[in-house]
Structure 1
Amino acid sequence: MKKSNSQKISLGVFVVISTLLLISILYFIGNRQNIFGKTFKISAIFNNVNGLQLGNNVRYSGINVGTVKGITMINDTSICVDMVLENKMLKHIKKNAIAAIGSDGLVGSMVINIAPNSEASTPLIPGDTIVSYSRITTTDMLSTLNTTNENAALLVSDLLKITSAITEGKGTLGLLITDEEMAFNLKKTTSNLRSMSLNANKTMVEIKNIITAVNYDESFAAVLLSDSISATQLKSIITNLETSSRGIDSLMLNVNKVLLSANSGSGTINYILNDSTLVRSIDAIVKNLEVSSVKLNENLEALKHNFLTRGYFKKLEKQKAKEAKKLRRN
């Protein structure tokens, strides 16, 4: 009887401990899977889940905030991943957050990392689908490396053909490398071009110095360069000078004709120029006129002082004075 009771007590203790242990395990697992807490659901669409499985962790900024609850194939290029997150993260995660699949360490299980976006956005609503980012997989990297290797092999083959043609002296570059005369001519041409460039540079410096030396405030050159009215006037002056020059040429031709006619003809001009007797007569007449003019002035002066004509001259002087006053008033 005692033996039976001890067995019952041991069995009861085992059952109680097993029950407590089972409850603890269930609570621990449920706590990790958010069974006993309030949660909300969101989704993300990926092109490749990279081995993601149900129950894998979901992290937000490196903190575990939920788990993967469903993986559904939409089509051959889209896979919908449903996530269950803690309800307390609802106010922190925004609609423009970005989900990406990564690994937990080098050889760990896959996880979903949700990263916040730097741009402002509205809070997340349960059931929303956030933007996803698919990282490059190892297979993609190997495929890219394989393509790169093939392109590199083709490039090396083409370079080998080009270098072989150059070595054989084919093409312009091959001639430059193998033909010494052509290389010398090219070197000489380059030297000539350099000399021309230096001379052109010197000429430009001299022109710049000339332009800098021009006084743009007072110089005639500055007026011609900057004042369009003065330039038009100068152009008109040059045109008038050309016209005057043609008129002077025509006048000189006529004068030459007149002189030739005077020298060779028998007219009055020739007679005046060549007859010395006429010249002496004209000289005597001029002298007589000068003497007569002096005597006439003396006679006029005498008449001014004569009592018979003195009144007349005074009257003339008064009349001249009145006219002078009128002119001053006007």
Structure 2
Amino acid sequence: MEKTTSQKIRLGLFVIIGLLIFILATYLIGDKQKMFGKTSHLETVFNNVNGLQIGNNVRYSGVNVGTVRGIEMLNDTNIKVDMIIDKTIFKHIKKDAVATIGSDGLVGSMIINILPGKGTDAPVEPGDEIRSVNRVSTDELLNTLSKTNNNAALLTENLLTITEEINAGKGTVGLLLNDAELARDLKQTMHYLKISGRETSNATKNLNKLLESMNNKDNVIGLLKDTAVANSIKTIVNNLDNSSLEINRVVTNLNKTILNIKDGKGALNYLSNDPNLVNKIDSTMTNVNESSAKLNENLEALKHNFLFRGYFRRLEKQKLKEQKK
């Protein structure tokens, strides 16, 4: 059965529309995968790719700039990832940039995020290898979370045991919460501590005032801080030391002299130890006094004697002249 013209036209339109849709889809997918633009390769090495697949997106500062072209296992700890990047982006990526693996949303596919560096290095060249940072995987997070939950359970159990003992009045905290007498004693103790603290504060203030007053030159301690006064006191003390030394020497010499007088055979020894000599000296002094008195009487007699009377008169006249002058 031959097809009509309208059917042929509809078939041609369907084929043309399908071909346009295919071309458009191919273009969109190719543009997204950077198949039609000017691109270059960039490499990085990870310890764990965390489910990264060929064709996943590569982002730089949150912007899609390329796709993953290859994943190669170098050894048991290093995996090389080959990325194809738009050439216009290479001038913005510096050599100190860092590649990390993340997810596109909470449940999206894995992607590579290129984080900008400090911007002080030169831009990367095609074929360069940039540094990478391995983030914590979901399994590690789950393991850590499991350990945290176990620790939280143990902590809750211990806390429950402690609260039960406190409610039962066991331990210091339990006694404080359940023993009214101990609570009163503690309250009284705190009251006394408060009073002691207040008294200590007052004593500290008084001590500070006393220390401040010491700096005043009107009192003795403040005066002692004066350099001139300190030097004068130092000089007086030195003089006292020297005087003390001289006094000690004089006392020593005096002791020696006394010992010599006491033990020697001189006149002082006889005077101090021989009473007969003292009596003789007393009688001698008495005789001297008597002789002096008699001599005075003889002189008076000579004054009245006619042989010496003129001589004494001349002496009296001469004394009177000297007194008048």
d(CA) in 2 for partners of 1:209, 1:65: 75
For residues 154 and 262 of structure 1, the distance between their equivalents in structure 2, rounded to whole angstroms, comes to 108
SS class of match (2:120): coil
CA–CA separation in structure 1 for the residues paired with 2:230 and 2:150: 67
Choose from 248, 256, 259 the match for 1:246: 248
Task: Indicate the residue corresponding to 1:211 in structure 2.
Answer: 214
Whether the aligned pair in 1 keeps the contact of 2:223 and 2:229 (CA below 8 Å) is: no
Partner of 1:148: 148
Residue number in structure 2 paired with 1:311: none
Q: CA offsets per residue over residues 144-199 of structure 1, 9 Å max, x none?
A: 222223334445566677775995458xx89999895xx77x94996898589558
Deviation at 1:54, TM superposition (A): 1.6
Q: Look up the SS of the partner of 1:99 in the other structure.
A: strand
Deviation at 1:74, TM superposition (A): 3.3
For 2:208, give the aligned amino acid: V
5+ residue gaps, structure 1: 286-291, 303-330
In 1, Cα distance between equivalents of 2:159 and 2:197: 33
2:124 aligned with 1:131: no
Q: Equivalent residue of 1:149, what SS? A: helix
Match of 2:227 among 223, 229, 234: 223
Partner of 1:69: 69
Who is 2:308 aligned against? none
The answer to whether the aligner puts 1:109 opposite 2:109 as a matched pair is yes
**SS of alignment partner, residue 49 of structure 1:** coil
| Aligned match of 1:314 | none
1:96 maps to what in 2? 96
Rounded to whole Å, the distance in 2 between the matches of 1:122 and 1:43 is: 17
Secondary structure at the aligned position of 1:58 is classed as strand
What's the TM-score, normalizing by structure 1?
Answer: 0.60
The alpha-carbon deviation at position 68 of structure 1 amounts to: 1.1
Q: 1:42 to 1:209 in 2, by over 3 A?
A: same
For residue 91 of structure 1, report the CA deviation from its aligned partner: 0.6
C-alpha deviation, 1:101, in angstroms: 2.2
**Paired AA for residue 223 in structure 1:** T
Residue equivalent to 1:236: 238
Which residue number corresponds to residue 300 of structure 2?
Answer: none
Q: Distance in 2 between matches of 1:249 and 1:156?
A: 91
Secondary structure of the 1:67 match is: strand
Deviations 1:183-223 (A, max 9, x none): 77x949968985895587357425522432148xx945432
**1:315 corresponding residue in structure 2:** none
SS in 2 for 1:213: coil
Give 1:80 deviation, angstroms: 2.4
What is the aligned-residue RMSD (CA, Å)?
5.5
Separation of aligned partners in 2, 1:225 and 1:75? 88
Q: Is residue 204 of structure 2 the alignment partner of residue 201 of structure 1?
A: yes
Distance 1:151 1:106, change over 3 A: closer
Q: Could you tell me which residue of structure 2 aligns to residue 49 of structure 1?
A: 49
Distance 1:297 1:150 in 2: 140
Relative distance call for 1:45 and 1:214 in structure 2 (3 A) is farther
Shift of 1:95: 1.0
Distance 1:237 1:26, change over 3 A: same
Separation (CA, whole Å) in 2 of partners of 1:34 and 1:61: 18
Q: Using the TM superposition, give the Cα deviation of residue 116 of structure 1 relative to its aligned residue in structure 2, in angstroms.
A: 1.1
Q: CA deviation digits over 1:236-262, x for unaligned, max 9?
A: 32421322443565688779x999x77
Aligned to 1:118: 118
Count of residues paired in the alignment: 281
Aligned residue type for 2:227? V
In the superposition, relative to structure 1, how do residues 155 and 10 fare at CA in structure 2: closer, same or farther (>3 Å)?
A: closer
Larger mean CA deviation between 203-212 and 83-92 belongs to: 203-212
Q: Report the CA distance between 1:127 and its aligned residue.
A: 1.6
Over residues 245-288 of structure 1, what are the superposed CA-to-partner deviations in whole Å (9 max), with x where a residue is unaligned? 43565688779x999x77996659x96xx98x96xx79xx9xxx
Partner of 1:40: 40
Amino acid at match of 1:222: D
Q: Secondary structure at the match of 1:120?
A: coil
> 2: CA distance between counterparts of 1:301 and 1:120?
124
Q: How far did residue 27 of structure 1 move?
A: 2.3
